[in-house]
């Protein structure tokens, strides 16, 4: 009955893990942020604060979402980078 060897879960490289995790978590947080932000602010009203900006709601929501996504990705990307590249504690003090 044992015809195929044990498969095991796929192993991702650390870089792949970092990229996908950062992209995905910042996506989720950006979605929440967009929802909360636009519950309080109407993109049309925000646009009308400036004389030469005319923005539709659809475009406003999308811009807001991508703004939050990029912002969150920068934040968690830098955090992930710093955590991963921090100097290792030396062995003597590890215990």
Kindly state whether residue 1 participates in binding another protein, applying the rule CB under 8 A. Answer: yes
Whether 64 contacts 38, CB under 8 Å: yes
Least distance CB 60 / another protein (angstroms) = 10
Binding residue for another protein, selected from 40, 51, 85, 95, defined by CB under 8 A: 40
Residue 21 interacts with another protein (CB under 8 A): yes or no: yes
Residue 32 has, within 13 A of its CA and on its CB side, a CA count of 6
- Binding-site member from 48, 62, 81, 84 for another protein (CB under 8 A): 62
DSSP percent split of the chain into helix, strand, coil, nearest 5: 65, 0, 35
């Amino acid at each position: 009955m044992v015809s195929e060897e044990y498969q095991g879960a796929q192993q991702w490289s650390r870089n792949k893990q970092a990229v996908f995790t950062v992209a995905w978590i910042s996506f989720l947080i950006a979605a929440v942020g967009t929802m909360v932000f636009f519950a309080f602010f109407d993109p049309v009203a925000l646009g009308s604060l400036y004389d030469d900006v005319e923005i539709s709601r659809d475009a406003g929501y999308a811009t807001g979402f991508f703004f939050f996504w990029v912002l969150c990705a920068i934040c968690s990307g830098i955090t992930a980078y710093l955590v991963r590249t921090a100097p290792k504690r030396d062995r003597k003090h590890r215990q």
